[in-house]
Chains A and B, each alone.
Chain A
Amino acid sequence: MADDDFDLEALKASVARAAPRPDPATRAAHLRAAQESFAASQESPGRARQGSERPGTGLWTGVREMIDRLTGRGALTLTTALVACGLLVLTPAGRGLWQPGPRITAPATGSDMPATAAVPAGDTVLPAPEAAPASPAAAAPPADAMPEMATGAFARMTGAAGPAAPAPFIAAPENSLWMPEQSRDSFANAPANPLQVTAENPVSTFSIDVDTASWSLVRRSLNFGALPPPDAVRIEEMVNYFPYAYPAPEGDAAFRPTITVMPSPWNPGTQLVEIGIQGRMPATADRPPLNLVFLIDTSGSMDAPDRLPLLKAAFRLMLTQLRPEDRVAIVTYAGSAGVALEPTPAGEAATITAALDTLAASGSTAGQAGLSQAYAVARQMAGDGDVTRVILATDGDFNVGPSSTAELESFIARARDSGVFLSVLGFGRGNLNDALMQALAQNGNGTAAYIDTLAEAQKVLVDQLTGTLFPIASDVKVQVEWNPATVAEYRLIGYETRALERADFNNDRVDAGDLGAGHTVTAIYEITPVGSPAVLVDPLRYGPGAAPGEESDELGFLRLRWKTPGEGESRLLETPIRAGDAGARPEDAGFAAAIAGFGQLLRGPDWTGDWSWDDALALAAASRGDDPYGYRSEALALMRIAATLADGGR
C-alpha cells in the first residue's frame, strides 16, 4: 500500500469481508422476540378480547402451533405455501392491499387507537359481540367475510398444500398468516430401542431417569389440540411422571426393586417385565438445611403469562414448603446477571416474596454469566451438611456467549463435584431448548421438569419437593442379563437417551441418574419367551443354539448399582427375575403399561400392532386405582384427546 491515506471504499470492503453473517437460528429467535415485543406493545390493559386467542400468546403462535402439528411433507408444502403468501403481499398488487384492507383501517371507532393487531381480523367484521365465536373451531372466519388479501392467500395455500393441509389451517387464528416460522423447540431424543436377540446380546444397561419433562410437553401439546412431535415423547419420562405405590424399602436400605411380569397388552405372544424402584422416604423432620439459589431468566421472552408470572406463583408455592432455617437467594439474568436477593432465611417470607414481585422481564439473555453468579452465591451459602442446589428457571435458549454447550456441561459437572447441584425448570413454549435443559440437569445431578401449569408446579415443587431436592442414591445404574434359555428376544421401552455401555455398569466414574427421596422409577421391558409365536428373528442356522444345560426358570438377572450421595464407591444389589414375579399392585403395573403403550403410539405404532388408542385408554381406565392427586385422571383425559386427534387424521 503506497497510499498513505485511508480509502473509505477499501475500508468498507475490508470490513464487509470480516463481517460475520447472522446465525439463522439466532436471527429467527430475534425476529420472534421482536414480534412478541410488538404484540405486547399492542396490548392495552382492560380492552376486552373478542378472539379465541389466549392473551399473550404472541401473533405468530397460531401458525407455529399449526405447523407443529403437521408433519413431514404436509408441513414442508405448507411452509412453502406460506412463503409464497409472504411474497404475495410484497408484490405491486400486495402494496395497495396494505392500505384499504380492514386490518389497517380497522379501528371501528375511527379514533387514533392502534389497529387491533392482537384481535383476529375475522372478528372485526363480525356484526355484534354476541356473535363472537365460543369454540376455537367456530373461530374460523367464514371465507367470504375475510379480507381479500387473506382469501387470496388461502386460495394459494389450498392449491399448494393439497387437500389435507387447509383443514387445520383454517382453524388457526387467521391474523397469523404471514410469518412462516417453525417452532424452535428442540428436543432430546434418540431412535427407539431396537429389538435384541437374547442369544446375541443378553445384557441391557441403562441409567435411571427421574425426569418428567416429557410428560408435561406432551400434555401441553395435546391441550393445544395437536399431537406432540414424536421426538418430544420420551416414554420413560411419561411412565415415571406417575407415582406408583411399590413396596417400601426395609430397614435403612436406600431403595427396593419390585419386579412384575405380566402379559403384554399389545401383543399376545410377548410379556412385559416391569422393574419398579422405590426410594426410601426419610423422616422429613431430620432433613438437612437447604440452600437454594433460584436462577431466574428475566429476558424479554419470559414476559408471557405462562412464563415469569407462572414462575413467580410456582416459587411462592414452594416457599411454603421450606423451613425457617433454609436459605434462599435469587439471581437473575437478562442482559447482565445480578443478585436480586442476597441469601435470606426462608423464615423471612415477606422479604423473599417482595424480591420475587419486583422481577420483570426485559432485555436479552446472558445465560452463562447468570449461571456463574448463581454458583458463586451457592458456594458462599454452602455450609457443613447442607444441601445446596441451584434451581434454574428458563424458557429456553441459553445465550452461552463464547462457550459451547460442552463447556457449559463441564462447568456444571465440576460444580457438581464440589457439592452444588443443579435442577432445571422449563417454562413456556416456542423456543424451549429441551435438549440443553436435559444436558444441564443430567450433568448437575438434578432433574429437569417442565412447568406448564400451576398444578404442575404444585406437583414438582410441593408434593414431590423432598424427592426433587434430596438425593438418596446417586449414579443409579440398571443392568439386566436375560436368560437365553427362557427369553428369545427383548426390548427396553424408552430410556433411549439413558443407554449405557455394558462396561459402564461397573465403572464408578461413569455418571448416571440420581434417585430422590421417595421417588419411584419404573423401567419396562417387552420380552418374547422362547417358543412364542411372536418371535421375530429366526435362529441362526450356524449359531451356537440355545444352551440346553442351563436348567433355570429365571427370565433374567437384575443388577443395580448406586452410590450413597457423597461417596465415591458404588454398591451392588442383585435379584433374579422369575416368570411368576408379581410384586406391584395390578393397578400400578397396568397403568404403567398403559402409559408405555400410549407413549409408543405417540412415537409411531411400530411395536404395538393393532393395539389402538382406545385400548390404551381402556387399560388406563381399568388401572386408575385410587389416584389421590388426580394425575391418572388427567392422563385419561389427555389420552382421550390424543385418540380423537389421531382418528381425526394426521
Chain B
Amino acid sequence: MVTSDEDLALAAARGDGAAFAALVGRHYDRLFALAWRLTGERAEAEDLTQDICLALPRKLAGFRGEARVTTWLYRVAVNAAHDRRRRRATHARAADGWGDWEIARTEAAAEDRARLDWLTAAMRELPDDLRDTLALTLDDLTQAEVAQVLGVAEGTVAWRVSEAKKKLRAIRAREEA
C-alpha cells in the first residue's frame, strides 16, 4: 500500500514540499481529464489545469481532512473553471474586434470541434451547471460526492443528471434528423 492521499495532503498542508509534489503528481492526470470534460478543448484544459496547479498550494492551507482528497481537489478544480469562465467572458468583451488572429483561432477551434466524438461536442452545448455535474458524474463520484463538490443538494444533482441526459437525447435527435 502507498501513503494515502489524506496523509499526503495533511503533510503538504503543513508545508512538506515533497508530499505536495507526490500528491499533485498522483492526481495530475485525473485533474487534466476532468478539466478537459469541463472545457471540451485541449488548450483550455491545459490552461485550466495550470490554474489549478498554481492555486492548490494556497487552497491546501485550508485542507483539514474533513473531505476525501479527491472531493476536495475537484472542488478546487470546479472553482477554478468558474473563475476562468468569468475571466473569459470579461476578456471576450475587452478583446472584441482586435486582430484577425483571434478569428482564425476561433475557426481552428471550430474545426477541431467537428472532428471530436459528437457526444463530447454535444456536452459542450450543455449549460455550464449541467456540464459540470455531468463531468463529475462521469468520474466515478457518487451523487453525494458530486453534490459535495458543487455545494448543492443531492437531489439537485440527480435532477441535473436527468436533465443533462434529456438534452443530450434532444441533441442526438437533432443531429440524426
Contact = CB atoms under 8 A, between A and B. Distances in A.
A20 B42 contact: yes
Interface stretch (B18-26, B63-71, B144-152): B18-26
Given A116-B15, A411-B101, A178 B54 contact: no
Contact of B138 (A8, A20, A376): A8
A399 B161 CA distance: 35
A31 B49 contact: no
A9 to B, nearest CB: 10
Interface residues of B, number: 69
B165 A5 contact: yes
A25 B175 CA distance: 37
A287 interface: no
A363 B138 contact: no
Contact of B28 (A30, A59, A363): A30
B28 A22 contact: yes
Contacts, number: 191
A117 B20 CA distance: 11
A98 B17 CA distance: 12
A22 B18 contact: no
A338 B120 CA distance: 32
A77 interface: no
A364 B54 contact: yes
Given A92-B1, A104-B16, A401 B105 contact: yes
A403 B43 CA distance: 10
Contacts of B43: 399, 401-402
Interface string B47-58: 101110111111
A23 B16 contact: no
B94 interface: yes
Interface in B86-124: 87-88, 90-91, 94-95, 98-99, 101-102, 105, 108-109, 112, 116-117, 119-120, 123
B90 to A, nearest CB: 8
B98 to A, nearest CB: 5
Nearest to B47: A364
Given A20-B42, A98-B7, A14 B119 contact: yes
A129 B28 CA distance: 39
Nearest to B117: A18
A56 to B, nearest CB: 14
Given A6-B165, A399-B46, A411-B101, A114 B14 contact: yes
Interface in A543-595: none
Contact of B2 (A30, A31, A40, A90): A90
Interface string A12-40: 10110111101100110111011101111
A31 B119 contact: no
A81 B80 CA distance: 36
Interface of A: 4-6, 8, 11-12, 14-15, 17-20, 22-23, 26-27, 29-31, 33-35, 37-42, 59-60, 86, 89-92, 94-95, 98-99, 103-104, 114-117, 175, 177-179, 300, 335-338, 362-364, 366, 368-369, 372-373, 375-376, 399, 401-403, 411
Given A22-B49, A59-B21, A335-B47, 7 more contacts: A4-B169, A19-B33, A37-B57, A116-B15, A117-B15, A300-B50, A335-B87
11 contacts: A11-B138, A22-B46, A27-B32, A34-B56, A35-B17, A39-B17, A41-B61, A60-B21, A117-B15, A336-B90, A402-B43
